[in-house]
Structure 1
Amino acid sequence: MTHPLKVTRNGAVLEIILDRPKANAIDAATSRAMGEVFREFRDDDSLRVAIISAAGEKFFCPGWDLKAANEGEDADSDYGVGGWGGFIELPNLNKPVICAVNGLCFGGGFEVMIGADIVLAADHATFALPEINIGVVPNIAVVSLMRRVPWAVGMEFMLTGRRMSAEEARHHGLVNEVLPLADLMSRARELAGLLADGPPLAFAAIKDIARRVETMPEQQALEFARALHSTQRCFESEDLKEGTQAFTEKRKPVWTGR
């Protein structure tokens, strides 16, 4: 069987391309493979940024492979170390993940997209959570989507299963940029290169803090954030000294992650 992922390393950037013709649907085995790739990305200090996208021009990912479901795969199967899609529930993944949506992004594919830190979309991309049509709860989206959009927007989207254009997704803050398909990956790589040159400890602290304090009252969140190990590590790092010195000397910092 052909491997469902095409993984390429470009310096500090890891590109993961979902490639399961003809629609890039994800079954449990593919999700487990994604989890292993993202775990290796998390644990490799020489890798700074990941890009997740898919092969072809029509489909990013329609979600769960219903053919596998019809052949006996349960909805609560073992999806691997990072949960569905490989990284949404991967513990301590404190590195930036960019999602480049190249086409139809439905169901579990939408949940993969919403788990990323920065989202770029081709201008023909469409988004939907059609699980309602088969009587299934989009459990990841119920949690994540409702923290990102107004209640009425998220509920209408999930309860009707309707499609959302790339421009509407950008309007609601689910997508950062909408681009022609021909420019999608070049922009993703440009952005990944920018992040790869950034301070890894600061990125780790930002993701760690944001994830942990999301539901806390503001004052509690501020106090909690100051006490976090990732925050203290950033403030006590050689990178902070390098950053301030480079600013004084009017040069580009050399980040080491220490």
Structure 2
Amino acid sequence: MTDPAGLVDYALDDHVATITYRRPDRLNAIDGAMRRDINAAFDRFRGDDDAWVAIVTGSGRAFCAGADLRSETGNPAGDFPGSFWERPTVNSFESGWEIFKPVIAAVNGYCLGYGLTLLTWCDFVIASERASFAFPEVTVGIPTIVGALRLPQRIGWHHAMELLLTGERIDAARAAEIGLAGRVVPHESLMDEARALAGRLTKAAPLAQRATKEMAVRGPAMGPVDAIRFGETMRRVAAATEDAAEGATAARERRAPVWRGR
């Protein structure tokens, strides 16, 4: 099922939602209109019980070239109600929406600024051999904020600071070398690789996956005792689901489980 949504497409097939940025004439740079469509797509994925995994990619030569500084359709970061100071901070998936379903980034080309910030919130990054990555903000006098918070946690301080403070671009091979990309594949097989990984992910129980991911996200910010107590509470919640009963039954009957996401 494909549902065109202006500048972003949302296609759902066999529990996998493919979110495709479609502004190729501007290298998928985000203007105000595209921001609204991106947020709508991720909001749909977040609330769609039939969508268990997402693949995010771009059309044309770019994954996402960052913010369109010449936007004529509103603020690329989003137009939100509030005063000059009291504005929402977590206002998109890039900035930290809580989505505990697995998300795969299939990076087909330029991945800059907002595009790279998105990657720091994805669980898997598969890069085309043509992909390149940068936080160019400092080269135009703008600080990187969310990327600066998350990138060091993902790839370590030295590699993160080199990207954040030089604004220089790296290729796909270097991204894989420093742990920014999980793997690099031939350009023509990028989406096949992403779909194959998504297919592997849908074989696991979706609610157990989400509880596990939430534990991985929240746990490091807690003390060890609080983290384990939180995790054991999550385990009890997950154990009460229909999927947990199905998993136990399937194991006894020596068959593949049929997950329902409830």
Residue 227 in structure 1 maps to residue 233 in structure 2: yes
Of the three residues 114, 121, 142, the one matched with 1:115 is 121
TM-score by length of 1: 0.88
Selected match of 2:64 from 43, 61, 64: 61
> Residues 166 and 159 from structure 1, CA distance in 2 versus in 1: closer, same or farther, beyond 3 angstroms?
same
**Structure 1: how far apart are the matches of 2:255 and 2:77?**
52
d(CA) in 2 for partners of 1:78, 1:111: 19
* Aligned partner of residue 148 in structure 1, secondary structure: helix
**Greater shift in the superposed pair: 239-248 or 193-202:** 239-248
Q: Residue in 1 aligned with 2:79?
A: 78
Task: Write out per-residue CA displacement over residues 167-206 of structure 1, whole angstroms, 9 at most, x where no aligned residue.
Answer: 2211222211110010000111111122223201111101
Q: TM-score, normalised by structure 2?
A: 0.87
Contact 1:32 1:79 in 2 (8 A): no
Matched, 1:11 2:14: yes
Tell me the matched-pair count: 251
SS at match of 2:155: coil
Aligned to 1:106: 112
SS at match of 2:70: helix
Which amino acid in the other structure matches residue 208 of structure 2? A
Match of 2:138 among 132, 148, 158: 132
Give runs of aligned pairs for residues 1-258 of structure 1, distance below 5 A. Answer: 3-22=6-25, 23-56=27-60, 58-68=61-71, 73-74=74-75, 77-78=78-79, 86-89=92-95, 91-228=97-234, 231-258=235-262
Tell me if structure 2 keeps the 8 A contact 1:102–1:121: yes
The one-character-per-residue Cα deviations of 1:84-134 (angstroms, maximum 9, x if unpaired) are: 6x4234644221111100011111111112221111100121111110011
Distance 1:79 1:27 in 2: 14
Gaps of 5+ in 1: none
Q: 2: distance between equivalents of 1:142 and 1:207?
A: 22
Shift of 1:250: 2.1
**Does the 8 A contact of 1:35 with 1:83 survive in 2?**
no
- Structure 2 unaligned blocks of 5 or more: 82-87
Q: Bigger CA drift: 119-128 or 3-12? A: 3-12
Corresponding letter in the other structure for 1:14 = A
- Partner deviation per Cα, 1:11-61 (whole Å, 9 max, x = no partner): 3111111010321101122122111111111111111111110001x2111
After TM superposition, the structure 1 stretch with the greater mean CA deviation from structure 2, 193-202 or 237-246, is 237-246
CA distance in structure 2 between the aligned counterparts of 1:174 and 1:123, rounded to whole angstroms: 14
Structure 2 Cα separation of the partners of residues 150 and 52 of structure 1: 24
Paired with 2:174 and 2:80, the residues of 1 have a C-alpha distance of 30
Q: Describe the SS at the equivalent of 2:170.
A: strand
Inter-CA distance 82–118: structure 2 relative to 1 (3 Å threshold): farther
Identity of aligned residues (%): 37
- Cα 1:40–1:144 shift into 2, 3 Å: same
Superposed CA RMSD in Å reads: 2.4
